[in-house]
Chains A and B, each alone.
Chain A
């Protein structure tokens, strides 16, 4: 994609950007001065990395109120930093950072590279993301916790619900899908570049529309 400077009304700050923490460019410079050294990299980036790993790799732990094992985080941090070095991704990240806007903290890049690192990881244990995809409706039920029987029942429910949401007008469908994914209104607003109040109204409309479809079905059943 060619860089294109076209000013628009797009907000400059992502809803999660202010939670990415400090700018770690000074740490990068220190690392540059010390040449690449896994131990130095670990000491400089362990704090932001441990947050990234806790949130991205151990997301399921958080959902169940569990704390990930600090040793596992340390181990993953070291593995990640070695992976970065092996595939020359460190150089790639530094180059991307040099072109990035100043409001893009290094932690954002660490998180994005960690996502790629995860793809190379073998799936491990019950907390791995090895569950099948259930579209946006997965947030309605936690499919990973369902038994085989309840999973089958849930799948039918999900399919029925999915076919209903597909009947939504396109302008309402995306905000509603994102809403079902569990995003907050301000996050949806940023992602689709709409005002948060507009997003709220579109979701409300979608719910009313679906209610209309559902009660239409009820009426038909009652009529027969």
Chain B
């Protein structure tokens, strides 16, 4: 399997996420995805910011404190 080499602004990330939404991904890809998030700090930060940007403001209040 081709290794996942995701850049946050790259269209490949769109393809990957949309495929995940539609069909799911393999266990191997899931392991690689976790590994990217674990070791690619900038990617993790950008991706988390992207997700948080769509969060309902109410959820921020519900999320509680960050330790």
Within A115-151, the residues touching B (CB, 8 Å) are 115-116, 119, 133, 135-136, 138-140
What is the CA–CA distance of A109 and B50 in the complex, to the nearest angstrom?
Answer: 12
A40 within 8 A of B: no
Contacts of B25 in A (CB 8 A): 4, 6, 8, 10
What is the CA–CA distance of A170 and B63 in the complex, to the nearest angstrom?
Answer: 24
Contacts of A7 in B (CB 8 A): 23-24
B52 interface neighbour in A2, A111, A182, Cβ under 8 Å? A182
Q: Fill in one digit per residue for B20-54: 1 if any A CB lies within 8 Å of its CB, else 0.
A: 11111111011001100110011011111111111
A192 interface neighbour in B14, B24, B34, B53, Cβ under 8 Å? B34
Q: Which residue of A lies closest to B19 (CB)?
A: A3
* Pair B17/A14 contact, Cβ less than 8 Å: yes
Q: Chain B residues in contact with chain A, CB under 8 A?
A: 2, 4, 8-9, 11-27, 29-30, 33-34, 37-38, 41-42, 44-57, 59, 62-63, 66-67
Query: Which 9 A-B residue pairings sit nearest by Cβ, starting from the closest?
Result: A8-B24, A101-B22, A16-B54, A181-B48, A55-B53, A10-B24, A6-B26, A5-B23, A174-B38
